[in-house]
Structures are given as C-alpha cells and as structure tokens.
C-alpha cells in the first residue's frame, strides 16, 4: 500500500448522512429481494430468481444490512460499536469498521479472493462459450436439475451439444456437467486450476462477484454489495434465457444460441456484463 494511502484521513459521515444511506440501502435491498421473500412466505419457488439464494446460500436479510466500508467513520453510532468487526472511533460514540482485525483474521481468505479477482482481471475475455454449460448439465440425461421442460426436447438438446465443442472456463459450472459432457469440454477443469482458467467474459465468474463481495463482509460498502447482487441477478436471467429450458410461461423469451442470431444476441449481452463486472471487480480489488 502506498504510504500516502495508509495515512489518508478517513471519510466522516454525520449521523444524518449515514442514516440516510442506510435507509436508502435497505429500501433498495427490499425491492431487489421482494419476489424471493414473497415466495418463501407462500412456499413457492422460481427457476430463475431463486438461484441466487439457493446456490449462494445467502438470505435476503444479509443484503439489507448496510456497511459503510473501511476508512469511514460514522458519527454518533454507539450501537455499531457492538457489531462484530466494528470498533469505537473518536470520542467513543463514533464507530468505524475494524478493517485491521478483519484482515488479520481473514488473511488467507483475502489472499484467495484477491488471487482470483486479479487473475481474472488480467486475462483476455472469451466470448465463444455461448452459454452451453447449461446444455452440458442436461446432456444425455433423463433427469434434470430444474423441473422445467426442455425447449428442444432431449434429443434436440443433445444434438446442439453434439454440434459444438464446449469451451467452459468456470469450474463451478463444469462440475455440474453430465458424465457424457465432461470429456467434450476443451479443458478439464479442477478447483486447483481455477485461478488459471477464470476469465472476465464468463457469466459465472462475473456472477461470483456477488459471492466475493459477501465474503469481504464489512469491508464492502453496502452500495457495492447491491451492485454486485444486481449484476448477478441480471446475468442469471440471460443464463437461463440462453439455456435449453422452456421458460416462456415464466415470462422469459429464449435466446436461441443454437442459431447464428441467438449466438450474436448472447455475445452482445455477455460483453455488456463483462464491462459492468470489470468496474465492480476493480472496486473489490481496491478494497482488498
């Protein structure tokens, strides 16, 4: 860290300022999670939106909690001094995130996250996978992860996979490939090689920014956390629209990646998400 950065004075938020930001954050979180909370209350599920809560296992309440991030002092916030990873600042009624204690206890985690984020940011983006990871997860398989019919049927879905070489670069998608699909991927992916294969065009690598933001805990400003969640939510929609599932009854028109037009639509959206993700990834790296 440059010496000038280490000695920089913290930002100070008055009680009115940080309470306003906290309230705005809670309202935005509630809006983003309204569908999930309503479904849980009724015992209903959703094949697209529920993924962010089941796969990542983070509840809506976690998104509602606002943190100012490191190097910010909250004036007149004695209640925050009782929170985990906070400490008193100034006269004792003020509070700030105890970034030093968090970094000391979570050092291996921070190094691991930084390694993935940095390697991904430095690698050239690839845009030739066309979302076929979802197709590979049902390839030559009678039972599927989602209770939704296949748009082209099983034989038609298998034919699309047969007509392409799979180019998945994300291990956490690859590990769900069916046994017949695994050898069709250009690269055999493992957890140990994840840092060497992640790339910034990958939908799932960019979706995972939400996971990394959560794991960085109070170091991440609440607004950045919700930006990462919102990106993940938007990516998930494209992921499923380009999948083999028929989701028209759920209000999702397909992106038919088995056609040239569908491929072009997918890549255009993929590039847009990569651009959004680049800025968020840079902010997370700066925090670490």
Predicted confidence (pLDDT) per residue in 7-26, tens digit? 568 899 999 999 999 999 99
Structural domain spans, the chain: 3-287
pLDDT at 246: 96
pLDDT at 2: 46
pLDDT at 3: 40
Task: Reduce the secondary structure of the chain to three states and give it as a string.
Answer: CCHHHHCCCCEEECHHHHHHHHHHHHHHHHHHHHHHHHHHHHCCCCCCCCHHHHCCCCCHHHHHCCCCCCCEEECCCHHHHHCCCEEEECCCCEEEECHHHHHHHCHHHHHHHHHHHHHHHHCCCCCCCCCHHHHHCCCCCCCCCCCCCECCHHHHHHHHHHCCCECCCCHHHHCCCCCCCHHHECCCCCCCCHHHHCCCCCHHHHHCHHHHHHHCHHHCCHHHHHHHHHHHHHHHHHHHHCCCECCHHHCCCCCCCCCHHHHHHHHHHHHHHHHHHHHHHHHHHHHC
Assess whether pLDDT exceeds 50 at residue 79: yes
Assess whether pLDDT exceeds 90 at residue 104: yes
Low-confidence winner among 47-61, 218-232, 253-267 (lowest mean pLDDT): 47-61
Average pLDDT, the chain: 94
| pLDDT tens digits along 140-176 | 987 777 778 999 999 999 999 999 999 999 999 999 9
């Amino acid at each position: 860290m440059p010496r000038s950065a280490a000695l920089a004075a913290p930002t100070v938020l008055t009680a009115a300022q940080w309470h306003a930001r906290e309230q705005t954050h809670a309202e935005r979180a509630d809006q983003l999670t309204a569908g999930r909370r309503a479904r849980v209350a009724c015992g209903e599920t959703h094949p697209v939106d529920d993924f962010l809560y089941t796969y990542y296992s983070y509840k809506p309440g976690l998104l509602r909690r606002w943190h100012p991030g490191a190097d910010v002092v909250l004036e007149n916030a004695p209640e925050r001094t009782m929170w985990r990873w906070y400490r008193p600042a100034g006269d004792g009624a003020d509070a700030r995130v105890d970034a030093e204690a968090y970094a000391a206890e979570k050092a291996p985690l921070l190094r691991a996250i930084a390694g993935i984020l940095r390697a991904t940011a430095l690698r050239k983006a690839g845009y030739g996978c066309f979302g076929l990871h979802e197709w590979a997860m049902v390839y030559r398989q009678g039972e599927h992860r989602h209770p939704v019919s296949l748009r082209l049927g099983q034989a038609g879905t298998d034919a699309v996979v047969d007509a392409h070489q799979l180019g998945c670069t994300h291990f956490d998608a690859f590990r769900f490939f069916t046994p017949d699909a695994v050898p069709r991927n250009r690269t055999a992916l493992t957890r140990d090689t994840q840092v060497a294969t992640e790339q910034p065009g990958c939908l799932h690598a960019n979706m995972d920014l939400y996971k990394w933001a959560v794991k960085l805990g109070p170091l991440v400003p609440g607004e950045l956390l919700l930006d990462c969640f919102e990106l993940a939510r938007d990516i998930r929609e494209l992921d499923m629209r380009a999948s083999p599932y028929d989701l028209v009854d759920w209000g999702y028109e397909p992106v038919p990646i088995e056609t040239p037009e569908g491929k072009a639509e997918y890549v255009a959206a993929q590039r847009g998400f990569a651009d959004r993700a680049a800025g968020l990834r840079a902010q997370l790296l700066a925090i670490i």
